Amino acid sequence: MKATALAHPNIALVKYWGKRDDALILPHQSSLSLTLSPLSVTTTVEFGAASDQVELNGHTAKGSERDRVLRLLETVRAQAKADLGPAKVVSRGDFPMAAGLASSAAGFAALAVAGRAAAGLPSEPRAASILARLGSGSACRSVQGGFCEWQRGERPDGEDSFAVQRFDAAHWPDLRMVVAIIDRGEKEVKSRDGMKHTVDTSPYYPAWVKDAEAEVVQVREHIAKRDLQALGELCERNAWRMHATSFAANPPLSYMSPGTLALIQHLKEQRKKGIPVWFTLDAGPNPVLLTDAAHEVAAEALARACGAVEVIRCVPGGDAELKAEH
Ligand code: 2P0
């Protein structure tokens, strides 16, 4: 009746930006991401508590935050076909939650894996990925490690919309992701609201969706060959295009800060000097730099020189995993 799971956040190389079904969290497009180690969220679920309790990073969750967690566990109860009673959930992350690092992705992946185990359901990546998706779209890509592809699926019930692992973390141990925290503040527009606004009002949105499936295939090929330059160039272009859809929304929406632009423009100069470093950028001001092990120190130094207040060096991460209960 009690289980604890640890999951890593992920950074999308081809991004998810927009839903075709808001309730089931079904995307307009497929996406492909990489999990980030050593960053993690650890979540414990215990059924049979006196009442539903949700504690996130030491605070009692309220409102929509609490509702999202409890709704996911409602699905677990239905799947287990058992009256498991109220649930106590305790979740804690080890990285800045508002850094735009998809903490919700790691959190809901850990919740899905722990929730299924606490209910006595078998360990099944596909079922856990679908469950995690119901909490937060990108969470479906944090159930397994390495490079995971969220296939958009076609079915209206979402049963074919889940992530599959394309390459495990050991496929490319030399790859490095350097998270450059430009701004620790909470973003003004949450991803969920920003993507909905973009889908509803941006004339560029259909072009973004049209390109996505082909980009997933191309990224897969670059990863297969461990071609950092080709991967970096495609990731940058994909990030620019995602942000371009938001710039064109009405009213326009920008997640970049002046510091973001200063850093990402500087990368061009660094590449001319022979440093292999590219960026990707989620719905926030903090770029993630892609490079190799030989250049991670240089990438950190240039992020700091461009104003990063904190830098986190990451390597490809593994699967979400259950922890032994004591
Ligand atoms: C991604 N992002 O592919 C994209 C790129 C942000 C930019 O997935 O509404 O927290 O819970 O499904 O997954 C962030 O959005 O949104 C996100 P919901 P989510 O990683």
SS3 call for 267: helix
For 224-268, the pLDDT digits (tens) are 999 999 999 999 999 999 999 999 999 999 999 999 999 999 999
Domain at 175-316, CATH from 3.30.70.890, 1.10.260.40, 3.20.20.70, 3.40.50.300: 3.30.70.890
Q: Whole-angstrom Cα distance, residue 298 to residue 304?
A: 10
In the chain, where are the structural domains located? 2-172, 175-316
**152 close to 161: Cβ distance less than 8 angstroms:** yes
Query: In Å, what is the CA distance from 41 to each residue of 29, 72, 94, 282?
Result: 26, 17, 6, 19
Instruction: Tell me whether domains 2-172 and 175-316 share a fold.
Output: no
Give the pLDDT of residue 100.
58
For 262-311, the pLDDT digits (tens) are 999 999 999 999 999 999 999 999 999 999 999 999 999 999 999 999 99
> Cα 286 vs. chain centroid, distance in angstroms?
14
Which residues, 6 or more positions from 312, have their beta carbon under 8 angstroms from its beta carbon? 39, 95, 178, 179, 181
What are the φ and ψ backbone dihedral angles of 80, each rounded to 5 degrees?
-80, -15
Instruction: Please give the distance, rounded to the nearest whole angstrom, from the Cα atom of residue 307 to the centre of ligand 1.
Output: 25
Ligand 1 pocket test: which of 14, 65, 68, 138 has the largest number of ligand atoms within 8 Å of its C-beta? Answer: 138
Q: Whole-angstrom Cα distance, residue 314 to residue 39?
A: 8
Where are the extended beta strands (E) located within 100-242? 147-150, 163-167, 175-181
Nearest to 164 by CA among 30, 311, 312, 26: 30
Name the residue with the closest Cα to ligand 1, atom 10. Answer: 136
Regions of the chain short of the pLDDT cut 50: none
Atom of ligand 1 nearest to the CA of 11: 20
Please give the CATH number for the structural domain made up of 2-172: 3.30.230.10
**296 close to 154: Cβ distance less than 8 angstroms:** no
Nearest to 132 by CA among 152, 105, 102: 105
Pocket lining for ligand 1, CB < 6 angstroms: 12, 15-17, 25, 31, 102, 104, 136-138, 191-192, 282-283
Give the pLDDT of residue 32.
98
Instruction: Please give the distance, rounded to the nearest whole angstrom, from the Cα atom of residue 294 to the centre of ligand 1.
Output: 30
Please name the residue ranges forming H helices in 8-155.
63-80, 103-118, 125-135
Give the pLDDT of residue 97.
62
